[in-house]
Amino acid sequence: MSLYNPPLVIKSKRNVSSFIEITDALKGLEFSYFYTGKRIGKSDNIELNVCTVVIDSDENIFLSDCNYSGQKETWKEVIKNQIVNHLREIGVEPGIVKSETRYLTITSKPYLSKEKYELKVLDVISQINRKE
């Protein structure tokens, strides 16, 4: 990989939640993701914004919104890693994280335009603020 094509690296991160961590992931949880991105100039480098949302059985909402920049080849891996890391950060046990993400396939279906992405992030944050 050349110096002009760095791997996707995180540039910024924002976590917002209605609770500090999941108290009992065994009761159940749901997670989803959506993203947006664009090519930087005429290179193979991209700017990628990924939002992961986790909802536990008590309907507490955990959001992680990250911005990445770098070569586009690893975008699917970056999204899956963000989901795994988000689950770990909010206290989900390693066995449950592995079980929940074992067959996870990242697709381009949750792609949103920049405007729709930002509106959806703000909508989730507003749901979190109403929950508090």
Q: Which amino acid is at 112?
A: L
pLDDT score, position 14:
97
Domain chopping of the chain, boundaries:
9-131
* The token pair that represents 125 in the structure block: 């944050």
Give the model's confidence band at 33: pLDDT under 50 very low, under 70 low, under 90 confident, else very high: very high
Average pLDDT, the chain: 93
pTM over 0.85: yes
Q: Cα(124)–Cα(44) distance, rounded to whole angstroms?
A: 31
* The token pair that represents 34 in the structure block: 């959506």
Beta-bridge partner residues of 49: 36, 67
Compute CA distances 22 → 28, 38, 40, 105, 126, whole Å. Answer: 10, 33, 37, 24, 20
Q: Per-residue pLDDT tens for 40-92?
A: 988 889 999 999 999 999 999 999 999 999 999 999 999 999 999 999 999 99
